[in-house]
Structure 1
Amino acid sequence: MKIDILSLFPEMFDGVFQSSILKKAHEAGAFQYNYVNFRDYTDNKHNKVDDYPYGGGAGMVLKPQPIFDAVEALEKNTSDKPPRVILMCPQGETFSQKKAEELATEEHLIFICGHYEGYDERIRTELVTDEISIGDYVLTGGELGAMVVIDSLVRLLPDVLGNEDSAVQDSFSTGMLEHPHYTRPADFRGLNVPDVLLSGNHAHIEEWRRKEALKRTYFRRQDLLQQLELTDKEEKWIKEWENSQENS
Structure 2
Amino acid sequence: MDIKIAICDDINEMCVCIENKVEGILKNKSIGYEIDIFNSGEELCRMLDEIRYDLIFLDIEFPKMDGIEIGKYIREIKKDNITQIVYVSGRKKYAMELFQVRPIDFIVKPLEDKQLERVIDIYIDIMGGMKNFFEYRKSYSHKKVELYKIMYFIRDNRKVTVVTSEEKDAFYESLEKVYERVKQYGFLFIHKSYLINYRYIETIRYDSVTMTDGTEFSISQSRRKEIRKKLMEIMSREL
Q: Could you state the TM-score of these two structures normalised by the residue count of structure 2?
A: 0.32
Structure with more strand by fraction: 2
Q: Which protein has greater RCO, CA pairs closer than 8 Å, 6+ apart?
A: 1
Q: Could you state the TM-score of these two structures normalised by the residue count of structure 1?
A: 0.31
Higher alpha-carbon Rg: 1
